[in-house]
Structure 1
Amino acid sequence: MAKDPVETNPENYRVVFENDRVRVLEYTDGPGHTTTEHHHPDTVMLTTSAFRRRLSSNGKTLEVELPAGVARWVPAQDHSGENIGETDTHAFFVELKEAAPGSSRERGDHLGPTGS
């Protein structure tokens, strides 16, 4: 499993809140910046800026473009990312510490956010 993004990319991720049920991370970067591979558990992502990114994992890539002010579900996954747009990325990740009933905390086959 890839590592905690706060450890692998401390210049981009910082913990802004944590308790026994959730951890909230703030993420920022600029155009052209890339992250090293890291792990996210099941997460809700909240965008505060519009951005374009390329996510990569296990030989798969996905380009994501999101407007500011949206919330997206991000299933548990390992990935690295690259800001391929012309704007800074600014988002918050609300990481769930409890697994969904009947599921495991292992990395799934998902890459990127989903609409549900």
Structure 2
Amino acid sequence: MSPRVLVVDDEELLGKALARAFQIDGWESETSNGAAAALRVLGAGPPFDAVIVDFLMPDMHGTEVLRWLAAHHPRTKRFLMTAQLDFAREASADGLAHAVFQKPFANVLDLPKTVRPFLPCE
């Protein structure tokens, strides 16, 4: 069974590009264009194996999504992406994020290979 990932970013083109990179790597992927929409998706279906969330979005910070995930789906691997590393390091240090990825990405195709080792062995 393919791992499932949810990509959450208010920049629709980037979200779609990241989701496509995961599909190329054999993942099932979905996108959400904001934190509130992501919480609806996360609350409505089975848990994802990984969720990658942008830090700064108009409706709420990505850390709120990570906090919800930690409480409701603690086995889901949580990742934060941002251009503002100072704030994001706190989320990683607090255990909210398993890793933080700096935007912009040099190559979006590398991201699935970076996330996969965090998953349990298949």
Specify if TM > 0.5: no
Q: Which has the higher contact order (CA 8 A, sep 6+)?
A: 1
Q: Which has the higher strand share?
A: 1
TM-score (norm. length: structure 1)? 0.31
TM-score (norm. length: structure 2)? 0.31
